Amino acid sequence: MSTELDRLYARLADRVDAVPPPELSAVRVRAAQRRRRSFGGLLAAGAAVVAALFGAQAVLAPAVTPVRPVLPVLPATTDFIPFDGSAEPVIRFAGPVRFGMASTSGDRSFAMWMAEDGTEWVGGIDLATGRALWPPRSLGKFGDTNGMEVSAGAILLLTEQGFDNPLIKDGSDTIIAVDPVTGKIMWTLPYSFNDTDRVLYDDTLVITWVQRGVTEALDLRTGKARWTVTERVAQSGTNAMRTMAELYAVGGFADRVPADRRVVLHLADGRVQLRDVASGRVERELAAPVLSPGGDRLRRESVVDGTLYQFAGDKAGTLPLDGSAAASEVPFPDSVGGATPCVTGGLFCAVTDDTGESAKLTVVDPRTGATVWQRELKAMVRGVLPAAAGLLAMGEPSSVFAVDGTPLAGLEGQAMWIESGNLLVIGQAGISGHQLATGENVALGQLAVTGYCSANATMLTCPTKDGIGVYRFAR
């Protein structure tokens, strides 16, 4: 019997176990029986099982012409290869490190790390040659960090509490802009991580100081303002115009600079402005009331595929930015205030009913407030990461679901999407590659990871206890 079909029906049975309706219990039994039948019988019977699982209408041909099961569209398998066990870190740490993160864009990776003594460092790696772009740069000591953001024009280090640091004024939180080509510091800017909204472009940082009522577009080379808006912008009201594909969480911390060169400002008085990033010129102005969350609840906004979405407590609002319709407001589940765009246009997903040990993944239509589907999760979830293949609820364990809520995988560890649409899994047993189409895990190697990794199509960059390492995981 085909080994591939063995794996296929094992996965079908596993998926049935994850679907609650009682009428599927008989299907689970039949699926187990079919795994023991002949090759031809398996193909003919499979369509009925898949129809029950995924809502597809099965059309059965005569027994002499077996029908291949119709599964959800899953990515092709990735040709995973184990790490080179002799690979040394490209950048070695000068001493013990308490946190690090990497961000990969094309054939370059950038990393920041904070030593145990509070010293923050930044470095860059050319993935094509496996060499550092420039010697690691120390930025001095800080109380904490909010990581970094990377574009072609600058690496922005989001530092906290820079007391006794000559770069920092009055111990404030500070953005430090580093040249990604040379590693030199270009400029610094006192700011507040919690009281500013920021959008990073290839050559510009648009930053809003919500309390001050000022928005500026800063030249990434000089840190000087290209244009300024002195009208108050609502909290979370500064957003890029992004497509859903730009929001796919592929490659870990791979920054996707928005291709659309317009920024959306939602002013506190209810006007919505589309401005050209380079000049600040207002290209369009629309009206949309600013929803108030009430109490200490957060409000959030995002712009996806030309529509402005805002979430505030138990309300959601939508506004097509092409002017084709007026702003609308609907009731929304109060626990979905931190909604994230999902892989299908216009739907949003969030972790709800989080107890610290379990939670629910809830998918909601923000235009109606209706819950589209909901799935139980057996772990605390650190984020919901969308990709073309589905939704990843990242935790320990992690869970993967198709767009329609079909369970695709349960993964023992924290997972990340890679460009092929499959996943890398970082767990206690080491790092593995997961094939969504077959359900197989391919062991890649052991790494003592000390922070957040990132990847392109074939290379993984990770902070480890010894340094920043680069590891090939696919051909």
- Let me know if residue 73 belongs to a domain: no
Q: What integer best gives the mean pLDDT of the chain?
A: 84
Q: Which domain holds residue 40?
A: 3-54
Helix 39-54 vs helix 3-17: crossing angle, to nearest 10? 30
Q: Is residue 244 part of a domain?
A: yes
Please give the average per-residue pLDDT across 60-79, as a whole number.
Answer: 58
Least confident of 226-230, 284-288, 395-399, 431-435: 395-399
Residue 315's contacts (CB-CB under 8 Å, 6 or more residues apart) are 291, 293, 329, 330, 331, 332
Q: Which of 139, 127, 125 is nearest to 177 (CA)?
A: 139
Q: Which of 268-277, 373-382, 433-442 has the lowest mean pLDDT?
A: 373-382
Q: What is the pLDDT of residues 322-336, one digit of tens each?
A: 999 999 999 988 777
**Lowest mean per-residue pLDDT among 2-6, 254-258, 272-276:** 2-6
pLDDT value at residue 396: 86
Look at residue 55 and tell me whether its pLDDT is greater than 60. no
Do 36 and 164 belong to one domain?
A: no
Q: Indicate whether 25 and 116 sit together in one domain.
A: no
- Tell whether 232 and 371 lie within a shared domain: yes
Least confident piece of the model among 292-296, 450-454, 455-459 = 292-296
The model carries a pTM of 0.83
Q: Report if residue 67 sits inside a domain.
A: no
Residue of 277, 269, 282 lying closest to 207 (CA atoms): 277
d(CA 326, CA 261): 24
Examine the domain organization and report whether 142 and 29 are in the same domain.
no
What local confidence, expressed as pLDDT, does residue 40 receive? Answer: 27
As a three-state string, the secondary structure of 301-348 is EEEECCEEEEEECCEEEEEECCCCCCCEEEECCHHHCCCEECCCCCCE
Residue 64 lies in a domain: no
- Same structural domain, 175 and 46: no
pLDDT at position 89, please?
Answer: 96
Looking at this protein, which amino acid is placed at residue 270?
Answer: G
Binned at pLDDT 50, 70 and 90, residue 385 comes out as very high
Q: Cα–chain-centroid distance for residue 53?
A: 28
Residues 100 and 49 in one domain: no
Per-residue pLDDT at 64 exceeds 90: no
pLDDT of residue 381: 86
Tokens of 184: 């030199």
47 and 165, same domain (yes or no)? no
The answer to whether residue 145 is domain-embedded is yes
Which of 60-74, 155-169, 371-385, 425-439 has the highest mean predicted lDDT (pLDDT)? 425-439
More confident residue, 71 or 299: 299
pLDDT digits (tens, 9 = 90+) for 107-146: 999 999 999 999 999 999 999 999 999 999 999 999 999 9
**Mean pLDDT, residues 230-240:** 97
* Predicted confidence (pLDDT) at residue 393 exceeds the cutoff of 60: yes
Residues 49 and 149 in one domain: no
Asked, for residue 72, whether it belongs to a domain, the answer is: no
Of 253 and 353, the one with more pLDDT: 353
Give the pLDDT confidence score for residue 253 in this predicted structure.
Answer: 64
- CATH number assigned to the domain comprising residue 164: 2.130.10
Judging by beta carbons within 10 Å of its beta carbon (0-12, 13-18, 19+), is residue 64 exposed, middle or buried? exposed
The 10 Å Cβ neighbour count of residue 198 is 16
pLDDT of residue 168: 83
Higher pLDDT, 378 or 435: 435
Give the model's pLDDT for residue 72.
61
358 or 410: which carries more pLDDT confidence? 410
Asked if 157 and 28 sit in the same domain, the reply is no
Distance from C-alpha of 248 to C-alpha of 374, rounded to nearest angstrom: 21
Q: Closest Cα partner for 408 from 79, 76, 72?
A: 72
Average pLDDT of span 344-365: 87
pLDDT surpasses 50 at 162: yes
**Torsion over CA: 439, 442, 446, 447 (sign):** negative
Domain assignment present for 65 = no
- Using the predicted structure, report yes or no on whether residue 165 has a pLDDT greater than 70: yes
Q: What is the pLDDT of residue 346?
A: 86
Could you tell me if 222 and 114 lie in one domain? Answer: yes
User: Does the pLDDT at position 58 exceed 60?
Assistant: no
SS3 276: strand
Q: What is the residue type of 331?
A: P
Nearest-10 crossing angle of helices 39-54, 25-34: 160
Per-residue model confidence (pLDDT) at position 254: 56
Looking at the 3D structure of the chain, how many domains does it have?
A: 2
Residues 305 and 407 reside in one and the same domain: yes
406 lies in some domain: yes
